[in-house]
Structure 1
Amino acid sequence: MCVYGFMFQINAEFKRVTTMPLQSKFISQIDLHSASLLRVFEKRSGQQGQKLRDMAAMMTDDIDAGREAIIKALCIYLNEDPEDLVQEYMDLTDANTLGAIEGTTVGIYVIRETPNSEVSDVGVIIEGQVALQDLETVALAAAMLFGLFYTLNMSYPSKLRYTFEVIQKLIMELDAAELSGKAQSLN
């Protein structure tokens, strides 16, 4: 099945379960909350504050890069490693890259020709397999990954549970009755 067919199925199932569109809601909510999240991130000090400032500095006029930076900064703020969510590689056919993907339970991969070049591929990894590829942005991949977790009623990975809780309850405004302490600090 082509990537668009699979994305259509994820979007359709998410809408059936929640009555809201996945992709457009996720992207618009990230955009809506970006400024307030940046203000919260700026208040952090120490090593975590420096990492958040470095991530905020990566936000340029490129809106897709800005969304990616917000998602990664959210991981940092919640004391989770953004590399557990987004892994960057130079060559998808390289044996080391394939080994890393096979060892990944869930995540997003980004392929670049050189370290600071444009993205050539973005995809979703589930259970060591590339489940989706040829996605346009990390934000879209994050939306699809969240949609899979939510519609299949899967548990969030322990290394990223707070990030996905914030995406679910604060960004997507789903089942927001009970929030963990970490999520409440962003509310």
Structure 2
Amino acid sequence: MEREMLKTIPDRDMVDELMVSTFAQRRREIVGDEPLLREIRNRWPALLQERQIRAEFEGVTAQELLPSFLDGLDALVPRLLELYKSSSKSGRCRSLGAILTSLEKDNTNERKRTAVLLGLPLYLKEDSSNVFRLCDAHYDHLDEALKGMELGLLIAYEEEQDAVPHQVFDVAVVVEESIVIHHEKSVACGVAMLMGIIYAVNLEYPSAMKYTFEFLQKVVMKIKPEQASARIHGLRNKILRYNM
């Protein structure tokens, strides 16, 4: 596999076969030994490609990554937006107001998805500054933009900045202040890939956003929903009470 990945154009079918045949060994090493990311890159150089992350996630959870995330998210978007509106109006979470206002200018499905994802940590009173980070697409100081990002998304936007970017230029998944995957087409797909990497490399959720990620796992993707914490269980019940 290492030799194949050194080629300019690796044989995709061969890499797929090698990754499938070594799945059990790889899980033992990653879960048992908890290697650093650079060690995983050296040992399993194909693993951090988008195609293999999706395959690894499916092998671990028996679910397809993008469909389970996007379908689950879309089913909850209307209810979550109503919850955000109620919270903003009541004064419980005024910071959600800017996100909701940005949808008045453009409320496409993709922007609603983005609004829900960027608003979730605000609603849960969590700090997303080192996990979801926005920067101008023409910003030249990439190292500075990545500083402090142990695990998250770097969202590059064009044109004027808003609470929900109007033109997303690029979404990159960041691990240990390094870009692992980029050119994701949307924030929603970026978050899905972030979840995929967490499962593939056996990472812990960022402590500053542990409830946000728990919600994504157990409510959006329905992975072990019976193990939800009391806080997330309560939020799930509150969402389901909204009649849409």
TM-score band w.r.t. shorter chain = 0.7 to 0.9
From 66, 88, 91, the counterpart of 1:23? 66
1:127-166, aligned counterparts within 5 Å? 127-166=176-215
1:62 correspondence with 2:108: yes
- What is the CA RMSD across the aligned residues, in angstroms? 2.3
Q: Counterpart of 1:120?
A: 169
Rounded to whole Å, the distance in 2 between the matches of 1:161 and 1:15 is 22
1:56-113 per-residue CA deviation (whole Å, 9 max, x = no partner) reads 2333332221111000111111111343332111146623x42230431111111123
Q: TM-score, normalised by structure 2?
A: 0.68
C-alpha contact 1:11 1:147 (8 A) present in aligned 2 = yes
Q: TM-score, normalised by structure 1?
A: 0.88
Aligned sequence identity (%): 29
C-alpha contact 1:78 1:182 (8 A) present in aligned 2 = no
From 67, 74, 78, the counterpart of 1:35? 78
1:142-163 per-residue CA deviation (whole Å, 9 max, x = no partner) reads 0000111123322101011111
1:114-154 per-residue CA deviation (whole Å, 9 max, x = no partner) reads 33451221111110001111110011010000111123322
1:11-50 per-residue CA deviation (whole Å, 9 max, x = no partner) reads 11111111111112111111111112123223322251x2
Structure 2 unaligned runs (5+)? Answer: 10-47, 237-244
1:72 correspondence with 2:118: yes
Indicate the SS of the match to 2:203: coil
1:7 correspondence with 2:50: yes
Amino acid at match of 1:11: R
Rounded to whole Å, the distance in 2 between the matches of 1:176 and 1:98 is 37
C-alpha contact 2:131 2:149 (8 A) present in aligned 1 = no
C-alpha contact 1:85 1:108 (8 A) present in aligned 2 = yes
Rounded to whole Å, the distance in 2 between the matches of 1:129 and 1:76 is 25
Indicate the SS of the match to 1:133: strand
Runs of 4+ in 1 over 6 A off after TM superposition: none
Larger radius of gyration: 2
Amino acid at match of 2:99: M
Structure 1 unaligned runs (5+)? Answer: none
Shift in alpha-carbon separation, 1:177–1:122, aligned structure 2, 3 A: same
